[in-house]
Structure 1
Amino acid sequence: MINKESMSKRILILTPNPDHPSHHGRWPYVLDAYREALAGIDAEIFDQPWSEPIAEDFDLILPLVAWGYHNAPNSFIGAMTAMGAAERRVFNPPEIVSWNVDKRYLRDLAEAGVRIIPTLFTEGVTDEDVARARADFGQKALVLKPAISAGAKNTLIWEGEALSELKSEVRDVEDKKLAVPVGPAMIQPFMPAIRSEGEWSLIFFVGQFSHAVLKTPKSGDFRSQPDYDAHLRALTPPPEALALAQSAIDFIGRDRLLYARVDMVRAEDGGFCLMELELIEPDLYLTYDLEASMRFKDAVESAMLVCGCSSDHHVH
């Protein structure tokens, strides 16, 4: 008889749905980076698209490379729900991952006292919504973004009057990324610090702070992703930034998260506002800190022993 206890563990990393190619196109390299970080761990590493049924047993399933989920959010949530129903050991847990798909989760954080960028949530951006947001926020420059999106897709700064102006300016395929968000969306005041200082990303493993990266957009841009040539560097975060990140992590529950990235920007009063809490497939910026890969590996090893997939949770 085979002694299963003596066999190496099996880890499954979820990858993009091939029917909805990721616009990044670099996920295989990201997967390789995770494999490298987990080298030496007592486990075999497997991968498969999140959209395919899971036919085998795994000790741990990681949604870490499940890019493109925003292209088919209902299917993705359905896949997560099925994994939860089958009592798969998914970490971060399926219900937390599903909650994190729609950026309206920010409303839950705000209601719990976590400071977010002031946000008007709307079912579809209209000129009336824009006028209301400008009145509420006291400024003309607004950020329009879909409630379900990734990689700054369809996110734009809007200072014009009628939204029809923007639609008439769409001339080529590249410009279509700057179209008015369709469907549920968010309107926020543009935060000037995103251009001058940049966006802070604080990384946590099993609820503990690991490292932080400051992402400063290239001149004339506001997008802080590496895809848009932003400048990234590891820095010690300001105490106020760390405190905000910890309040967001505490809202979920530190023992409920294998990994998390907390994105924020400095407000005009010098404090910080949460931009996003990335719990599905964030770039964890392992290469920017010498010990980050080891901390990530340790977190995965601990998760294989005790997965925080209990039924009690704070999100809804």
Structure 2
Amino acid sequence: MFYIKKLTNLFSYINSCIFINLGKYQFTPKQKDFINLLHLTIFTTAQKSEKEIYNFLKDQTIPHSTWNLALHYKLIILAYRLNNKGFHPKNKLFLDLILRDLHKFNLEKDYILVIGCGGIGNFMTYPLTTLGIGKMTLIDGDYVEASNLNRQFLFDYHSMGRSKVDVMAEKLHFMNSKMVIHTYSQELSTELLENIYHESNQKISLVILSADEGNCLEIANTFCTSRKIALLNIGYLNDFSVIDPFYIPNLSACYYCEDSLGITKQNNSILQEKIKQAHKNHQAPSFFTNNAITSSMAIIDILYFFDQSFDQINSLNKRIGISNHDFSFHSIPIRKNYSCKYCSTDRS
């Protein structure tokens, strides 16, 4: 095996402030370890075999514990990780901090269905495209208008009046010409999802829902639970960026396993009519911030999903949210209900 230094390494030695790296892998070594790690990192600027590294350690009288530290804090990584193909090279540096095994991470054979191509749809499809996703289907019946341009960055004034899915497909294809993109400029329906499912010769890996019109959530949840397809609902509650429980067949709760999210319809028709009147002319405060934060949260969990690091998924069996004011974290647990009328068949 061959090893090479990680390009994101950072060494700091200023007066009494000694540390290596930033973020999750930041640590404060002893002074002697700092010097040894510095020498070892410089030596592996070009890839070296394991034998060459062991000989270097012996020649420089550097203890083997230094090598263990370098591996544990990812100062030095397997050389093949930097040669991984299939997605934007800059992504590799971040993914190697997040994923368990970057070498096995490849989305070229995966297929994502995106419901809703508004602000969150823009934020979600952009990184997924640069990650090398193989196939993507876009569903949205809206057309680009001026009010979209404060956060839907894939659109501009030249896009106004055109179908969102068509403009988005063009922009994404410029970034990843190998990705297969299908578009449906129409409202979501059960019939549409079933047609897409039956007409495709490839299994859908994940459905991303970022539309809140009508009964989109129930349609998507019913479809995904019946077809055993993973589903993640991404949105915001005014000034809270929120992602709902990540539904993974045979593993986690769907959106209707409990009523703690307040999504079950009530039978009081008079009261519901009054609520409908109160909601007349309601507009969502869709802004760059609440869209960007929720999408960033979702991308991390989606990375864990495709890495099959299910125990790392933050939104598994819970709704999680971040306040756009003070960045405080909030969560609502959702227990999997094995009698749920939607996903109870997961046991079969």
What is the TM-score when the length of structure 1 is the normalising length?
0.30
Q: Point out the structure with the larger helix share.
A: 2
Q: Point out the structure with the larger strand share.
A: 1
Q: Which has the higher contact order (CA 8 A, sep 6+)?
A: 1
